[in-house]
Amino acid sequence: EAKGAGRKTWCFYASDMNERIIQRNQLERDLRQAIKEQTLHIVMQPRYHISSGRMIAAETLVRWYHPVRGQLGPDLFIPIAEETGLIHPLSAWIMRSACLEALTWENDVRVSVNLSPSEFRRGDLVAKVRDVLQETGLAPQRLELEITENVMLEDADRALEVMHQLKALGVRLAMDDFGTGYSSLSYLSNFPFDGLKIDRAFIAGLGESASSQAIVEAVIALGSALDLTITAEGVETAEQLEQLKRLGCFEAQGYYLDRPMHPEELRKAMKRAQPVGERS
């Protein structure tokens, strides 16, 4: 009786696992193909200076329109790209596309790109960034690289060295999703960051939980003390933006201000150039 049930369970898990492996392998094959045929695309989400309403930067986010499964988000395929090494050609393509896009803007809005921890593990990240800057001719200070805390956890000494080399190229570095990882405050002062993005989980809690507000306040104070540009991520309401303004946060990004959009759409938005504060 019990034996039979046990075997049944085992069979269930085995076929479930097989199913997942098959799906994953299929996705890997499709991703390889998509990178080769360049059928992935980028969207860009503006980031604004809160008090003046000026657009400061636009973050590059990769998208995949899968022939069968439809639009897939990066959380689904970036992990596969990392496991398989496909992240390297993919992210070189994303960075180049982002820089070329920024060159078409008739302003000095910066462009930011997300880096994966696995790119830090490989020895050629600095050369890759240098090559992209050289090939495209984008002024280095207009490129910002977003790095999550994991990068520093894996091999802090190595990460520190790579980050100093990146700074020597003239690019800006921002810590992404701040508050969600395990990084200690010492990382912030020891690593050459220019900016820090407060994870949207804390912004979502503004006006709802006293602890979120306390954390956001503390991060803003810390950021000012360390001379970091603080960005609030995931701003979804007017109230959140108002609070952030009151708390002295510099910059904001989120659906309330703009959704990630196609590069052509962003170019049009830049031509209209309406400050955030003056929206309906």
Under the rule (CB under 6 A), what is the footprint of ligand C2E?
45, 60-62, 73-75, 78, 91, 94, 114-116, 146, 176-177, 200, 234-236, 254-255, 260
Q: CB 211: neighbour CB atoms within 10 A?
A: 10
Dihedral sign for Cα atoms in the order 225, 226, 228, 231: negative
* Residue given tokens 């309401």 in the structure block: 237
Which of 82, 144, 146, 251 binds Mg ion (CB under 5 A)? It is 146
| Intra-chain end-to-end CA distance of the chain, in Å | 67
* Residue given tokens 């006006």 in the structure block: 207
Task: Provide, rounded to whole angstroms, the least separation between the CB of residue 51 and Mg ion.
Answer: 22
Task: Provide, rounded to whole angstroms, the least separation between the CB of residue 1 and Mg ion.
Answer: 48
Which of 30, 82, 149, 177 binds Mg ion (CB under 5 A)? It is 177
- What type of residue sits at position 258? D
Task: Provide, rounded to whole angstroms, the least separation between the CB of residue 112 and ligand C2E.
Answer: 9
Residues 163 and 192: beta-carbon distance below 8 Å: yes
Q: Binding string to Mg ion for residues 222 to 241, with x set by CB under 5 A, is what?
A: -----------x--------
252 binds, among Mg ion, ligand C2E, none (CB under 5 to 8 A by kind): none
129 binds, among ligand C2E, Mg ion, none (CB under 5 to 8 A by kind): none
Q: Which residues have CB under 8 Å from 215's CB, separation 6+?
A: 179, 202
114 contacts Mg ion (rule: CB under 5 A): yes
Distance, in Å, from the CA atom of 123 to the CA atom of 208, rounded to the nearest integer, reads 44
- Strand ranges inside 67-127, DSSP E: 70-72, 110-114
Which of 144, 176, 251, 258 binds Mg ion (CB under 5 A)? It is 176
Site residues, Mg ion (CB under 5 A): 114, 146, 176-177, 233
